[in-house]
Structure 1
Amino acid sequence: MASPAHDPGPALDQDGVRLTVDDAIATVTLTNPAKRNAQSPALWRALAEAGRRLPGSVRAVVLRAEGKSFSAGLDRQAFTPEGFDGEPSFIDLARGADAELDATIAEYQEAFTWWRRSDLVSVAAVQGHAIGAGFQLALACDLRVVADDVQFAMRETSLGLVPDLTGTHPLVSLVGYARALEICATGRFVAAEEAVSTGLANLAVPADQLDPAVHDLVSAILAAPRDAVVETKALLQGAQTRDYEAQRTAERAAQGRRLRDLAGLGE
């Protein structure tokens, strides 16, 4: 999505993350294709900061990545004794107190949580490899459009770890417990056709059509009134935890708010 000529420039550009805003659309781009957009604590902090910097005008957020791979996952440097410059290594974290370890992982997770805010619709444009943390980052978004060369894989279990960057909840919600367990326990690749058929992806297109397809989807979402989309998203998110009667009640309350607003009777 090209920025207009009057665009003042990126709202954020650091540690492999660039945020640009064009009125109602924000674009978050992973910008380290030389390392296949491998992830690190610095990148996670930049992603969290991107979420904090979104202006109120933004209704849709596109997550994309430069290069042939969306994200190859966690940078393996994290597992070396040295870790990353200026960061505690994962080995050091493992030796620390439980509370400190929990707080650090919670901080990392913040990069993956804001994408499902009820006032936004987030769309991930995913090409090539989306492995481990890359898979979980794609899962953090509401919707996923994938290139026909996409390769999802959850490799944490194979490394003796677990997916801890908020990916387990959406994965089970999308594909069900049994398939989610099989994907995680085997670490196998999930290609475009399976991703669409199982609900991991909304749409698969040739790689050269990925950006246009995302643009068309976002444009269709923006065509609906913002408040109606916000209320609908909140209803659908809540349906996962409400029983049938509670969902009926929530629908009535939301529709009441919409009708009053349309009649000019809103607060």
Structure 2
Amino acid sequence: MKNKSIYSLFVVFLMIISCKQEKVTPKLSYEETKQSTAKKTKSQDTTSVKIADLPVFIEGTKYLIHPIGEVRVNDYVKNSYSSSSSKINDISYSISNYDGFELTGYFDDLKFQHIDSTTVRSLTNEKVQIQRVAYLNTIAEKTKKQILVYTLMNNDTNKDGIINQDDIKSLALSFADGTNFVKVSEDFNEVLDWNVVEVQNRLYFRCVEDINKNGAFDKNDKVHYHFINLLDSAWKVEEYMPI
């Protein structure tokens, strides 16, 4: 009987742990940002150090890209208690990864520099977090149009006082030198995926909209389908209805 009681308690414990793990913070909140939350976030940000990664050169362009991001100092403080030796070498100062015409990481900004110049310019002066930058090399080879596609967060959609990966993802485009930077997805629509159909010179992407306003993306919400003619100077977004 005692063993049975212990087993029952163990099952209940596993159920509680499972529920905690399955809890997902909504990416959307329709409440105003609380001032106390914003102040708390600002205080936490003082534990980070902004750095630039070594520049990346995208073959086929004439520009270097300098990724700008943050290293969390509190990670060092946490690790320093695990050993009497210095943990400074355990902090990763690398904030980006470049492979196959794609730059990934968590960036506050990107700075662009012509290979024949010492001048650098920022992609944007707005608060963003960029996760992925893709250079459309096949489009460039075919049309001479050098275009970058960005997956990023640019709006505090969950109202926690900070823009990060817990907010909804947006899609943006720019030229290879960082100019003409423009968001092409609509506000409060989560970008699901995108691809390029070269025969049409089009970029297709899908977004989901929280039409029932419950703060989460679920089966009751609406998926939108869009495409952009990459040769169009205005990069006009067109919606289409495949279903």
Q: When the two structures are superposed, what TM-score results if normalisation uses the length of structure 2? A: 0.25
Q: When the two structures are superposed, what TM-score results if normalisation uses the length of structure 1? A: 0.23
Structure having the larger proportion of residues in strand:
2
Structure having the larger proportion of residues in helix:
1
